[in-house]
């Protein structure tokens, strides 16, 4: 039986609302305060303090990249897009460039903010998990390529099994992992190649 995920308690969280002065900001602030969040509204750009925020709401209609103190798509917290115009270019900017985790349509009504917070948090955490998984897989592939290069450097007459056995022996002798030993062997092999090229030059 699968365990049901608990709804997180958002009380005490910090939210920034990047939007020009407008009744929309007042509506969002009122709902966020009722939930228990601390709210800071700002325009035309986010202050450095936003880096410690838990959520950021941002205006899609008048938004631009320079408003954010991070590169597009690299926000360190969940982003919630405030959408008024459904112009394709604006939607693309919010979803694909800045990777908004949730959205609210303007004008914002008397409800919807709480669910957007929960959806944004879940989407953001899932995106972070997938990114970490991809990074781990890429690291494993890179490690395997390094091991292959090290075995090739240690191999004589195409005897790859002997080369791998030698690499494992080096790792044990150096008291390090096979991966670290492979990195050392590759570095030494690359150093020798550089020396040989220098002598030939």
At residue 105, what are phi and psi to the nearest 5 degrees?
-85, 140
Average pLDDT over residues 20-42: 96
Average pLDDT over residues 55-81: 97
Q: Report pLDDT digits (tens) over 171-195.
A: 999 999 989 999 999 998 887 655 5
pLDDT at 66: 96
Q: Report pLDDT digits (tens) over 89-139.
A: 999 999 999 999 999 999 999 889 999 999 999 999 999 999 999 999 898
Q: What structural domains and CATH numbers belong to the chain? A: 14-111 (3.40.50.2300), 133-200 (no CATH)
Q: What is the pTM of this model?
A: 0.75
Average pLDDT over residues 134-160: 87
pLDDT at 161: 87
Burial class of residue 59, CB neighbours in 10 A (0-12, 13-18, 19+): buried
Q: Find the farthest-apart pair of alpha carbons in the chain and give their distance in angstroms, rounded.
A: 77
Share of the chain above pLDDT 70, in %: 93
Assign 34 a pLDDT band (cuts: 50, 70, 90): very high
Residues 6 or more apart whose Cβ sits within 8 Å of residue 179 = 143, 146, 147
Quote the CA–CA distance of 160 and 11 in Å, as a whole number.
60
The answer on pLDDT for 196 being more than 70 is no
The answer on pLDDT for 144 being more than 60 is yes
Quote the CA–CA distance of 94 and 106 in Å, as a whole number.
15
pLDDT at 200: 55
């Amino acid at each position: 039986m699968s365990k049901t995920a608990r709804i997180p308690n958002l009380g005490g969280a910090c939210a920034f609302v990047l939007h020009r002065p407008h009744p929309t900001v007042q509506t969002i602030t009122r709902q966020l305060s009722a939930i228990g969040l601390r709210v800071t509204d700002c325009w035309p750009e986010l202050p450095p303090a936003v880096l410690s925020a838990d959520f950021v709401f941002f205006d899609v209609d008048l938004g631009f990249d320079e408003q954010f103190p991070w590169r597009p798509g690299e926000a360190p917290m969940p982003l919630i897009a405030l959408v008024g115009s459904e112009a394709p270019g604006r939607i693309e900017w919010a979803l694909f460039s800045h990777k908004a985790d949730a959205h609210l349509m303007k004008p914002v009504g008397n409800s919807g903010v709480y669910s957007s917070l929960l959806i944004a948090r879940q989407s953001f955490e899932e995106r972070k998990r997938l990114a970490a998984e991809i990074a781990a897989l890429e690291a494993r592939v890179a490690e395997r390529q390094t091991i292959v290069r090290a075995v090739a450097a240690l191999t004589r007459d195409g005897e790859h099994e002997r080369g791998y056995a030698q690499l494992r022996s080096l790792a044990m002798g150096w008291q390090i992992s096979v991966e670290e030993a492979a990195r050392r062997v590759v570095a030494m092999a690359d150093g020798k190649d550089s020396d040989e090229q220098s002598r030939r030059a």
